[in-house]
Amino acid sequence: MNAIQQVIQKQKQNGYRCLIGYITTGDPSPLQTLEIADALIRGGVDILELGLPFSDPIADGPTIQNASLRALKAGTTPKCVLEIVKQIKTKQDIPLVIMTYYNPVFKYGVKRFLIDAKMAGVNGFIIPDLPIEEADEYRQAAKTAQIETIFLASPATSPQRLQRIVDASSGFLYLVSRFGVTGIQTSVEDTTVNLIKKVQPFTSGKIPLAVGFGISKPEHVKRVISAGADAVIVGSAFINIVQRSAQNHGTTLKELELAASTLKVATKV
């Protein structure tokens, strides 16, 4: 069992499900990212997903797109992201997952990037624009580097393709809860609940099921977990706090810790 799955299993044994928090690395600055990570972890985030800023984040809505632009303007590069990972790992003992697009990985050099990431302390990668049909080279390099490959499934994924994705994934399966891009929604629709119940038999006993896109409130967390999710992924809600309180960093950190704490309490089964 890998480090990501160990954390998810430990939370289950303690009567909780896993809270995965997403932030854009380098937003609003690389130095502040370290403090933001600490605040979320103090609040109860079990796994931290670090977005590597990219100029064309096709799976992301305006909130994360704007965060990526701010991070790029602050000078955040892939090497900078790995350095931030290394610094987080010196203080925090939780799994770190990088979410990026394939272009930065390819440009850096797939094998070299994965090896450097492993040395920095990265536990897994999520690459939304890398389809399973074109991922053989990447998957082999990730396996060699001992980094988990986390694929995404969506409401449009057929049962046959879903089975292939489950078989190829490690760490957890990232289930996109709805059509469209990332961003806050007002409620968790019945279609999302039905989707989780449809996918859960494919993952049960094989790999943890994590659900993301639009989850921002405790009631969202409770509904997704009640449907059968092993973990919830929250991103835009945290990034909105970073953006809203940008002029008062102390306030930002307090609000992030409180938000994470409130969401973590909602993961109790």
Residue 18's pLDDT band (boundaries 50, 70, 90)?
very high
pLDDT above 90: percentage of residues in the chain: 83
* Residue ranges in 101-248 assigned as alpha helix (H): 102-108, 110-120, 136-145, 159-168, 190-203, 218-227, 236-244
Task: Provide the CA 178 distance to its chain's centre, in angstroms.
Answer: 16
Q: Could you list the active site residues? A: 49, 60
Name the one residue in this structure whose structure tokens are 């945290």. 238
Stretch 228-239: mean pLDDT: 95
Q: How many CA atoms lie within 13 A of 121 on its CB side?
A: 20
pLDDT of residue 214: 83
Rounded CA-CA distance 233/22 in Å is: 7
Domain tally, the chain: 1
Name the one residue in this structure whose structure tokens are 């272009």. 103
pLDDT of residue 213: 87
pLDDT of residue 257: 97
pLDDT at residue 180 tops 60: no
Name the one residue in this structure whose structure tokens are 């094998």. 111
Stretch 86-102: mean pLDDT: 96
CATH number of domain containing 199: 3.20.20.70
pLDDT at residue 185 tops 60: no
CB distance 36 to 182 below 8 Å: no
Tokens of residue 98, six digits: 């990088």
Could you list the residue range(s) of the whole structural domain that residue 241 is in?
3-265
Q: What's the count of helices (H) and strands (E) in the chain, helices before strands?
A: 12, 9
- The pTM of the whole model exceeds 0.95: no
